Structure 1
Amino acid sequence: MPSPDAAARHTGAGVARRQAHHERMRDERAREAAAGDAELPPEDDAVEMASAAHVLDSVAEVGPNYTLLRSKETKAKRRKRQREDARAALDGHTVLSTGSRLEIFCDSERWYPATVMAREEDGDGRIVHEIEYDGFSDRR
């Protein structure tokens, strides 16, 4: 009995495109392999170990691609937070998540951009947000 592979035959316009793609990829791999055989200059082939903290310290946090990862919230903490949020919303309080951006209107009749850095529950059960004014890292 002939094998099923021998009986199967691919037809159609996609066969030629796929074959051309495979040839291009084979040629590209061959070029990379040939280029990889060249020796690097002595100063470039040295490997230095660096801690992740050292690398992150050298990267400026100026955009969404350069934010530090937050620790994962456990299921119990998430559910507790959601219960607190729901209770505060029912009481008419505004609840903001950490990292939310907002603008604060001050006595000088100016709007100041800020970010919610943390939140905690006050002694009487109210949620208190800790904010940091953008551009003023020493003011909270």
Structure 2
Amino acid sequence: MLTPLGYDRTLLQQIGPALAGAVVYTDFVPFELNTPAHARMFNAMTAYAPENQVPAQESTVFGWLSADMFVRGLQAAGVCPTRQSFIAGLRGVHDYDGGGLLPRPVDFATNLGRLNNCYDFVRVSGDGSRFIPLEPALRCGSPIS
């Protein structure tokens, strides 16, 4: 089974054996690669959102990236941001990688509203206890014209 959702260790604790062999695709770097970007996010979550007991889940990354993009847009908007300067500033960002959480940089000038064409894939282990990143780490397709 191939699914876009379910990359959540809590889910494995609940129904892991039933998911054995399933493959999940994600557009951020898998947690199992344990990068410095993951460590920064986990440390910040522990310090500022201790109620999030399991930060290694999709929703945490999506929230983190949303907040990070917002801050990046505010920084690019200048000292007295307006809606227009925020949008223009964010569209001027050509190399956004979420501090290393995204496998490839995003160019907000050209990539607004488009689906990603590169994904990482993880497989649920045979016993349903963990996720295993598939090699190669990042797989990209070609957009349909």
> One fold, TM greater than 0.5?
no
Q: What TM-score, normalized by structure 2, do the two folds share?
A: 0.23
Q: What TM-score, normalized by structure 1, do the two folds share?
A: 0.23
Question: Which has more strand, going by share of residues?
Answer: 1
Which structure exhibits the higher relative contact order, with contacts defined as CA atoms closer than 8 Å and separated by 6 or more residues? 2
